Amino acid sequence: MPAAPAVKPRTPATGLPTGGAGPMHDKVAPPSSFLTGGGEMGALMRAHDWSSSPLGPPEYWPQSLRTVVSLMLTSKFPMFVAWGPQLAFLYNDGYVPIFGAKHPHALGLPFREVWSDIWTDIEPLVTKALAGEASFHEDLHLVMERNGYPEDTWYTFSYSPVRDETGEIAGMFCACTETTQEVKSRATLKAEQDRLRELFQQAPGFMAMLRGREHVFELANDAYLQLVGHRRDIVGKPAREALPEVQGQGFFELLDQVYSSGEPFLGRSLRVGLQRKPGTPAEERFVDVIYQPVTDKGGQVTGIFAEGYDVTERVQAEESLRESEARFRNLADNAPVMVWVTEPDGTCIYLSRSWYEFTGQTPETGLGFGWLNAVHPDDSGWSGEAFRASNAAHEPFRVEYRLRRADGTYRWAIDAAAPRFSEDGTYLGYVGSVLDITDRKEIEDRLSASAAEFRTLTNAAPALVWASANDGSIIYMNERWHEYTGQRVEDAIGFGWTAMMHPEDAKRILPYWQHCRETGETYEGEARYRRRDGEYRWHTFRALPHAGPDGAIEKWFGLSVDIHERKQWDEHRELLINELNHRVKNTLAIVQSMASQSLRQVSEENRPQAKAFEDRLFALARAHDVLTRENWEGAELREIIKEVVEPYLRQKTKHIEIEGPRLRLIPRTALAIAMATHELATNAAKYGALSVPSGCVFITWTITSDEIPRLELRWQERDGPPVVAPTRRGFGTRLIERSLATDVGGDVRLTYEPAGVVCVMNVPLSDEGGAADHPSRQ
């Protein structure tokens, strides 16, 4: 905190400048009569011990100080004076309430010590005063600790410099008024005004204050601005200028009438066209509005207060409700069902035209509870009681009874209704419908008979017949299940049937079952089920999905057949085939070994023929390997070709491209094509495209769709050495033609085109000719 401002040194007793000659210099001061009549503070000053004070006794105070103190003590206005180097603090009776608990011990203490809690705030002002600059402050905020705790205070005051007899500034004088209550009152008033203004602005209804005969807008809240369009600057403008599109709609005339008559106006659901966005057509709105005249003290109308609500949504809702009711009646009168509506007490207040046409009743005979007279006598009693009980419980209502038609015949009908409730939960009655279900009941009877026939048929079947929901749970199992497994049918329903499946098969089959339900694929396979004697026996099963009207799968129907003996025979047959494959493979190996040993002594001149023979044996062995892996049931054409040309594919300089659709061949066709491909590859490696790095062979095939499907396989060489037609037909050519013609009934066209050798093989794919699994039959 800055030090107190310095003043010129003075003598302790007189407060006059040292070395100066004042009026009382070296003289005894007169009695302190200037303190007489100073009220409480005058008495305190007279009784105060000034011996330790820098001011000294009052009778020695300089005349300038005496004059200020005398003026201060006789004033009712709060004042204080701070004098001398330490700015000793002197104050009057009016200042006592400001001091609070600091009174009276603050008398004579330094200014800085007296108001240490606010010294930081007032020191700059004090400095100005001691520098000769007076200041005035209005409602200055100060946080003071005058009663032992900080409190917000406000003051209006002035600080003025006070000069002594020498003309030097010896202190400062303050006249002040505490305005704390006034400031707080103004703040409270402002807060209340702000609150009222905020309430005005945020009021749910629109409000506006119009002044004078021109109806100039003084105020308009947010709801009013939202009604007429936020972007409008209407305040300060006459109504006709602010809202020009309203001209001719009668509202300005109403304002004129209220202003001239002094009578308020109340209007409901008034239509008004407002241009709520610049450059757009006027938008239709509906308002409830009150124009209330505002008068002065003399009763003269000075303006109009307009308030109301935008009820466009309510009017539109009412209109929509009327339209909805009209649509409901039109829909109900033309609906294929008979529609009715009741009050909360159950009395019928509406019956659609179709009811009257069906029953022959009229509104006079059908409304109320008259509708029960059209119900069959045997059904009206119990159905009426059911209706009254449901209505009393406010529950849905649903019954089936016989209803008399206008021609006197009775038809089965279903009568159903749902309770209506208001937004607050009040029960409003029923809205119901009646539907002729005679035809449906006849269909249900036929379906019931059909279901009985289905159960009889499935129970007579030797297989296990079942049906499931799309979640996999069994919903029907024929009686053969219990006869076979010993498990009760009711225990098999749901997922109980899985307990009869072999645990190993259950782990495999159940995920597959879920997959089929998700994809819609046919569910088929083989699994073991436990017979009632405990033996697990193999079954083959197959199930197809059944779709509902919307195309979604609703159910699955399937059956399982015991194939245990066939399964054992298949295993035995597979064992025999494996043994045969093993023996054939060993036989080929022996032939290859014998050929190798026999041809070892062949002369160099006949070595190429011997090598060709060995290669043909190896090609035949490779084809046999493919068929052996498939249990001699057939082989994939692509796999056969790849296996034969595999020795050439290992050589990076050889280029062979293979392309064609999937085709599975029977064994003899596969062997014939394998040997033909081997001969072509061998010839190409010696003389054709495979004999040079740049050459390439294209092997392609297609399937024709004539009366008898045929395979057309094309071997074409390119970029090889120049092609010259041979002068004689070699063994390889005769082998290709003979094997395809004799074994499978095919034919071969071998041409020596300049671009490369082309061989086209045409093979029939009938079951007798060569297809084990033709795509057209998959």
646 shares a domain with 626: no
Mean pLDDT score, 431-450: 84
- DSSP-derived letter for residue 566 is H
Query: Region 637-650: what's the mean pLDDT?
Result: 79
**Mean pLDDT, rounded, of the chain:** 82
pLDDT at 176 over 90: yes
DSSP codes joined into one string, 162-190: EE-TTSSEEEEEEEEEE-HHHHHHHHHHH
pLDDT value at position 170? 94
Distance (Å, rounded) from C-alpha 562 to C-alpha 462? Answer: 9
Note the pLDDT of residue 15: 42
Measure the CA–CA gap between 146 and 101, rounded to whole angstroms: 6
Question: Picking from 216-220, 285-289, 318-322, which range would have the lowest pLDDT averaged per residue?
Answer: 318-322
| Residue closest to 534 by CA, chosen among 495, 569, 502, 505 | 502
pLDDT digits (tens, 9 = 90+) for 27-61: 444 556 677 767 888 889 888 988 888 888 888 89
Distance, CA of 379 to CA of 668 (rounded, Å): 79
Residue from 520, 515, 578, 579 nearest 546 by CA: 520
The domain of 90 spans 33-180
Nearest C-alpha neighbor of 712 from the set 723, 721, 704: 704
* Rg of the chain over all Cα atoms, to the nearest angstrom: 59
Does 259 or 694 have the greater pLDDT score? 259
Residue 194: inside a domain: no
Verify that 346 and 399 share a domain, yes or no: yes
The DSSP string of 96-128 is HHHHGGGTTTTTTSBHHHHTTTTHHHHHHHHHH
Give me the number of domains the chain comprises: 6
For CA atoms 652, 654, 659, 663, the dihedral sign is: negative
pLDDT of amino acid 356: 92
Sign of CA dihedral 308, 313, 315, 318: negative
Q: How many angstroms separate the Cα of 443 from the Cα of each of 187, 211, 440, 448?
A: 85, 80, 5, 8
Write out pLDDT tens, residues 476-521: 888 888 888 888 988 889 988 889 999 999 899 999 999 999 999 9
> In terms of domains, do 592 and 611 share one?
yes
Residue 677 pLDDT level (bands cut at 50, 70, 90): confident
Q: Is the Cα torsion angle 44, 48, 53, 55 positive or negative in sign?
A: positive
* Helix/strand/coil percentages in the chain, nearest 5: 40, 30, 30
Q: Give the whole-angstrom CA distance, residue 408 versus residue 393.
A: 34
Residue 587 — pLDDT band, cuts 50, 70, 90?
low
Mean pLDDT on 536-544: 90
Asked if residue 176 and residue 37 are part of one domain, the reply reads yes
Asked if 611 and 741 sit in the same domain, the reply is no
> Tell me, what's the pLDDT at 516?
92
* Backbone dihedral angles phi then psi of residue 135, each to the nearest 5 degrees: -145, 155
Residue 591 is predicted with a pLDDT of 58
Mean pLDDT calculated for residue range 9-36: 46
CATH code at position 224? 3.30.450.20
Instruction: Please tell me whether residues 343 and 292 are part of one structural domain.
Output: no
Same-domain status, 39 and 169: yes
* Tens of pLDDT, residues 265-288: 999 999 999 988 888 888 899 999
Is residue 726 situated within a structural domain?
yes
The pLDDT, as a whole number, for residue 745 is: 76
Please list, residue by residue across 594-613, b when 16 or more beta carbons sit within 10 angstroms of its beta carbon and e when fewer do.
Answer: eeeeeeeeeeeeeeeebebb
In a domain, 605, yes or no: yes
DSSP 31: P
Residue 202's pLDDT band, with cuts at 50, 70 and 90, is confident
Confidence band of 399 (pLDDT split at 50, 70, 90):
very high
Q: Which of 123, 148, 180 is the last residue of a domain?
A: 180
Query: HEC states along 204-224?
Result: CCEEEEEECCCCEEEEECHHH
Sign of the torsion angle spanned by Cα atoms 14, 19, 20, 25: positive
What pLDDT is recorded for position 730? 59
Judge whether 17 lies within some domain: no
Asked whether 116 and 102 are in contact (CB, 8 A), the reply is: no
Q: Does the reported pTM lie above 0.85?
A: no
- Separation between Cα atoms, residue 354 and residue 344, nearest integer Å: 23
CA distances from 462 to 191, 434, 478, 479 (A): 95, 47, 10, 10
d(CA 139, CA 158): 11
d(CA 130, CA 84): 11
Of 383, 413, 436, the domain-final residue: 436
Q: Report the candidate in 230, 306, 312, 303 with the shortest Cα–Cα distance to residue 269.
A: 312
What is the SS3 assignment for 279? Answer: coil
User: Whole-angstrom Cα distance, residue 338 to residue 436?
Assistant: 9
pLDDT confidence of residue 5: 42
- pLDDT for the residue numbered 1: 29
Tell me the pLDDT band of 205, cut-offs 50, 70 and 90.
confident
Run of H or E including 252? helix 251-261
Q: Determine the pLDDT at residue 720.
A: 87
Average of per-residue pLDDT across 225-247: 88
CATH number of the domain bearing residue 702: 3.30.565.10
Going by pLDDT thresholds of 50, 70 and 90, the confidence category of residue 147 is confident
- pLDDT higher than 50, residue 19: no
Q: Residue 290's pLDDT is what?
A: 93
Closest C-alpha to 163, from 336, 331, 16: 16
Q: What number of residues does the chain have? A: 778
Question: Which residues are registered as beta bridge partners of 135?
Answer: 159
Indicate if 331 and 284 belong to the same structural domain: no
pLDDT greater than 80 at residue 668: no
At 364, is the pLDDT very low, low, confident or very high (cuts 50, 70, 90)?
very high
What is the pLDDT at residue 752? 85
Residue 573: inside a domain: yes
Instruction: Taking residues 715-734, report their average pLDDT.
Output: 77
Percent above pLDDT 90 for the chain: 37
In angstroms, what CA-CA distances link 352 with 5, 98, 330, 348, 376?
A: 103, 88, 9, 11, 20
Task: Read off the pLDDT of each residue in 216-225 and give the average, rounded to a whole number.
Answer: 88
C-alpha span between 603 and 680 (Å, rounded): 26
Residues 738, 602 share a domain? no
Q: What is the mean pLDDT of residues 458-472?
A: 84
Where is average pLDDT lowest: 23-32, 521-530, 692-701?
23-32
Shared domain for 88 and 157, answered yes or no, is yes
pLDDT of 25 higher than 90:
no
One domain, residues 430 and 320: yes
Q: With the C-alpha atoms ordered 135, 140, 143, 144, is the resulting torsion angle positive or negative?
A: positive
357 and 389 belong to one structural domain = yes
Q: Which residues of 506-537 are buried (b: 16+ CB within 10 A; e: fewer)?
A: beebeeebeebbeeeeebebebbbbeeeeebb
What local confidence, expressed as pLDDT, does residue 438 receive?
A: 87
What confidence tier does 619 reach under pLDDT thresholds 50, 70, 90?
low
Instruction: Look at residues 418, 436, 454 and tell me which one is the last residue of a structural domain.
Output: 436
Q: What is the pLDDT of residue 29?
A: 44
692 belongs to a structural domain: yes
- 169-178 sheet: strands from edge to edge: 88-91, 79-83, 169-178, 151-163, 135-144
> Can you tell me the mean pLDDT for 132-154?
91
Place 777 in a pLDDT band, splitting at 50, 70 and 90: very low
Confidence of residue 681 (pLDDT cuts 50, 70, 90): confident
